[in-house]
Amino acid sequence: MTRNVTRARTLYLRTLLVCGVFQLRMLLQYKFYVIAVFVQPLAFALIQFVMVGHRDDADALANVAVQAGLMGMWTSTLFGSGGGLSRERRFGTLEPVVVAPTPLAVNILAISLATALMGVISMGVTLLLGGLVFDTPMMPERPGVFAAALAVAVLANACLGFLMANAFILYRNSLVLTNLLEYPVWVLAGLMVPAAFLPQWCRPLSEGLSMTWAGRALGHAMSGTGEPGREILWCAVTGLVCLAVALVFLRTVHDAVRRRATLNLI
C-alpha cells in the first residue's frame, strides 16, 4: 500500500516536471508574453535605479534590481497562470486534461511552475541592467543562499499562482482579477516601497505573502546581511500554506465545474 502511494507520488512528480517543461516551451512561443517578462521589470528597475542612483549606495541599487526582478516574477506568474488557463479553455484542452487519471492539480501546478520559472528571466534582466548600465556590482555576497532563495521564491510563487488558478478554472471571466492583483501584491510585498512604510493593519497581509519573504531573503543574500535562512524558511512555509489551501479548494472547484458544466465555456 505504502509502496503504491510512493510510486504514485513519484509518477506525479515526474508528470509535473515533464508537463512543466512542455508548458514552458509553449510559453516561450508567445512572443508578446516573453517581451512583457523582459521589458516590464526592466522599466521598473530603470525608474528605481534613477530614483536611488544618486545615493551611491551599492546595496540599495542591488536591492532595487532584486525587487524589480521579483515584480516581474509576480507579473509573469499572475498573467501566465490566468492566461495559461484561458488558453486551455480556448484550445478546449481542459476537458481532456480533466478526463486523464492524473489529478488536475498536477497539470495546473505545471502551468504555474512554468510561469514562475519565466520570472527568473526577469530577475536576470534586472541584475544585468544594474551591472552593465549602472555599473553596480550585482554578484551576491552569498551566492549559494541567493540561489536557494531564488529557487524557493519560484516554487512559492508557483504555489500562489496555483491557488489563484482555482478561480480561473471556476470563473471564466476571472482573468480580470489579474489586472486587479498585480499592484496590491507588489505593494504588500514591499517591492515598490519598503513594507515598513505600510499601515499597521497591512502588515499581517504583507507577512503572509511569500513574495515579501522572498524579497527580504534575496536582498539579504545580495548584501550579505540579515538572516536570509529564516526568511527562506518563511517563504517556503507561506508557499506551502498556499499549496495546501489550493489543493483543498481544487476539490471543491473540480466538483463545481462538473456540476455547473463550465469547463469548456470560453
Binding site for other proteins (CB under 8 A): 11, 14-15, 18-19, 22, 25-26, 29, 91-93, 95-103, 106-107, 255, 258-261, 263
- What is residue 17's three-state secondary structure? helix
**Count of beta carbons in the 10 Å neighbourhood of residue 261:** 8
| φ and ψ of 193, to 5 deg | -135, 150
Q: Give least dist CB 4 to other proteins, A.
A: 12
Q: What gap in Å lies between CA 28 and CA 8, rounded to an integer?
A: 30
Q: What gap in Å lies between CA 58 and CA 177, rounded to an integer?
A: 36
Q: Pick between residue 15 and residue 86 the one whose CB is nearest to other proteins.
A: 15
| Grid coordinates given for 185 | 501584491
Q: Pick between residue 13 and residue 132 the one whose CB is nearest to other proteins.
A: 13
Q: Pick between residue 5 and residue 196 the one whose CB is nearest to other proteins.
A: 5
Q: Give least dist CB 260 to other proteins, A.
A: 8
DSSP state at residue 102: S
Q: Give least dist CB 230 to other proteins, A.
A: 37
Q: Pick between residue 55 and residue 251 the one whose CB is nearest to other proteins.
A: 251
Task: Give 94's contacts (C-beta < 8 A, 6+ positions apart).
Answer: 85, 88, 169, 263, 264
Q: Give least dist CB 198 to other proteins, A.
A: 32
The burial class, CB within 10 Å (0-12 / 13-18 / 19+), for 207 is: middle
Which stretches of 92-188 are DSSP H helices?
Answer: 94-99, 104-132, 143-170, 176-188
Q: Pick between residue 133 and residue 176 the one whose CB is nearest to other proteins.
A: 176
CA 247 to chain centre: 17
Q: Pick between residue 92 and residue 226 the one whose CB is nearest to other proteins.
A: 92
Cell numbers 538572516 correspond to what residue?
Answer: 227
Q: Pick between residue 50 and residue 100 the one whose CB is nearest to other proteins.
A: 100
Q: Give least dist CB 46 to other proteins, A.
A: 32
Q: Give least dist CB 87 to other proteins, A.
A: 9
| Grid coordinates given for 13 | 512528480
Best CA proximity match to 113, nearest among 40, 25, 17, 185? 17
